[in-house]
């Protein structure tokens, strides 16, 4: 306390003279950072040394960290399918889901126009990982075969999960998930350019939430009590810590800090 060095913000002007392009792709290189320290209130430079370095990288993966969702749908024969994904975000009562065009879940959603979004807590990481390389489609693409996927008609049992009937849709809920959102599919559109993905927009029709996660006397979830399972660069995290080895990360050959040195 009383140390003027504690009330600072850092800026890092970058010398971009080292930028190169080859064939339209930026090459990885180091950029020099001008050491500078400023006070938070006036922006006036003060004494101090800040040393930093950034590298321009053509990143292979952009999964910076999003909640895992188990999407349950109904197959053409009426059986249940459940699949993990993490390309999801919410706005109001709607959600955008990014899914591969060839996935059984995408086919089911396009046909049935409904699903259940089940949000697992970090404690369900083992069950989610067991689902990672399973597919509900008996005809697999060369890509899935290369990554080690296998066909599994009963993914609930394979993952050790339990089906619960939903109220408004035919797809089941996942009993073990603390949050279960029954949804209708509003739209399905191609996502981006040459991504091989679809963007499904869904609307939440009914939410089922574990009693202990609801702030008493409100219709709000306790953000401290809710510990979502997060997928970050194909690895599982909860409460900021890495939780469990990821089969998906292995299949996609995602390097870890521990093994890359």
Over 60: is that where the pLDDT of 27 sits?
A: no
What are the start-end ranges of the H helices in the chain?
Answer: 104-112, 125-131, 142-147, 155-159, 247-251
pLDDT tens digits along 148-194: 999 999 999 999 999 999 999 999 999 999 999 999 999 999 998 98
Helix (H) or strand (E) holding 121: none
Q: What is the pLDDT of residues 183-239, one digit of tens each?
A: 999 999 999 898 889 999 999 999 999 999 999 999 999 988 999 998 887 777 777
Residues 6+ apart with CB under 8 A from 4: 39, 46
Q: What does the pLDDT read at residue 159?
A: 97
Q: What angle do CA 89, 94, 99 make, to 5 degrees?
A: 50
* Complete DSSP assignment for 22-60: ETTEEPPEEEEE---EEETTT--B-S-----EEEE---S
Mean pLDDT of all residues in the chain? 82
Give pTM, 2 decimals.
0.75
CB atoms < 10 A from the CB of 4, how many? 10
**Is-contact 170 182, C-beta < 8 A?**
no
Of the candidates 178, 89, 103, the one whose C-alpha atom is nearest the C-alpha of residue 134 is 103
Residues 50-77: tens digit of each pLDDT: 567 998 999 888 878 889 999 999 999 9
Q: Give the phi and the psi of residue 146 in degrees, each rounded to 5.
A: -60, -40
In the DSSP assignment, the letter for residue 233 is T
Sequence-ordered list of residues with C-beta below 8 angstroms from that of 219, at least 6 positions apart, any chain = none
- Per-residue burial over 195-222, b if 16 or more Cβ lie within 10 Å, else e, is eebbbbbbeebeebbeeebeeeeeeebe
Q: Give the chain's end-to-end CA distance (angstroms, integer).
A: 39
Spatial distance between the Cα atoms of 176 and 210, rounded to a whole number of angstroms: 10
Counts of helices then strands in the chain (DSSP H, E): 5, 22
H or E element at residue 199: strand 197-209
pLDDT (0 to 100) of residue 35: 47
């Amino acid at each position: 306390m009383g140390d003027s060095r504690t009330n600072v913000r850092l800026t890092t002007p970058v010398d971009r003279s080292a930028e190169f392009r080859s064939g339209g792709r930026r090459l990885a290189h180091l950029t020099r950072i001008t050491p500078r320290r400023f006070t938070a209130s006036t922006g006036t430079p003060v004494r101090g040394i800040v040393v930093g370095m950034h590298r321009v990288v053509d990143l292979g993966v952009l999964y910076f960290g999003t909640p895992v969702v188990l999407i349950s749908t109904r197959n053409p024969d009426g059986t249940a399918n459940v699949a993990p994904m993490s390309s999801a975000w919410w706005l109001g009562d709607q959600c955008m889901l990014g899914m591969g065009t060839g996935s059984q879940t995408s086919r089911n959603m396009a046909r049935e126009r409904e699903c259940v979004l089940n949000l697992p807590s970090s404690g369900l990481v083992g069950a989610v990982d067991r689902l990672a390389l399973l597919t509900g489609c008996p005809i697999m693409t060369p890509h899935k075969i290369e990554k080690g996927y296998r066909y599994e008609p009963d993914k609930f049992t394979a993952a050790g999960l339990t089906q619960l009937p939903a109220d408004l849709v035919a797809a089941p809920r996942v009993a073990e998930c603390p949050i279960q959102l029954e949804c209708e599919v509003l739209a399905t559109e191609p996502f981006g350019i040459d991504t091989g993905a679809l963007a499904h927009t869904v609307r939440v029709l009914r939410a089922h939430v574990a009693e202990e996660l609801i702030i008493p006397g409100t219709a709000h979830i306790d953000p401290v009590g809710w510990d979502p399972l997060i997928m970050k660069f194909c690895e599982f995290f909860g409460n900021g810590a890495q939780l469990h080895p990821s089969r998906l990360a292995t299949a996609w050959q995602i390097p870890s800090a521990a093994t890359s040195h």
